Amino acid sequence: MKQRIATREQALKQGLTNFFPGTLCKRGHKAERNAKSGQCVECRREATRALAATGCFREWAAAAKVRAQEAEAAAHVTPKKRRKARRRGH
């Protein structure tokens, strides 16, 4: 699949998640970049894979999930729901 070369500004304007700058990243990938962070998607994939291999990512994902649940619970706290929204002890 041939990708159209675009700038990050164009991608952001069009609301795209990724764009293809047509240049190599600092680690030599000819890949798309994330429009918001500007990060090479291949680098990100590798970093994610490396973290997943060490188990860090799962811990991080679990922690992020708990944080999201707590934030959600805090946003909807009513006297009735408060009991359900109790914090998980460590």
Q: Provide the 3-class DSSP secondary structure of residue 34.
A: strand
Binding to Zn ion by residue 44, rule CB under 5 A? no
Distance CA 15, CA 50 (A): 29
Partner residues linked to 20 by β-bridges: 5
Count residues near Zn ion (CB under 5 A). Answer: 6
Binding to Zn ion by residue 35, rule CB under 5 A? no
Distance CA 53, CA 31 (A): 23
Binding to Zn ion by residue 16, rule CB under 5 A? no
Give the CA count within 13 Å in the CB-facing half-sphere of 9.
0
Supply the minimum distance, in Å, between the C-beta of residue 40 and Zn ion.
3
Candidates 8, 18, 29, 39: give the one binding Zn ion (CB under 5 A): 29
Candidates 43, 51, 73, 85: give the one binding Zn ion (CB under 5 A): 43
Residues that bind Zn ion (CB under 5 A): 25, 27, 29, 40, 42-43
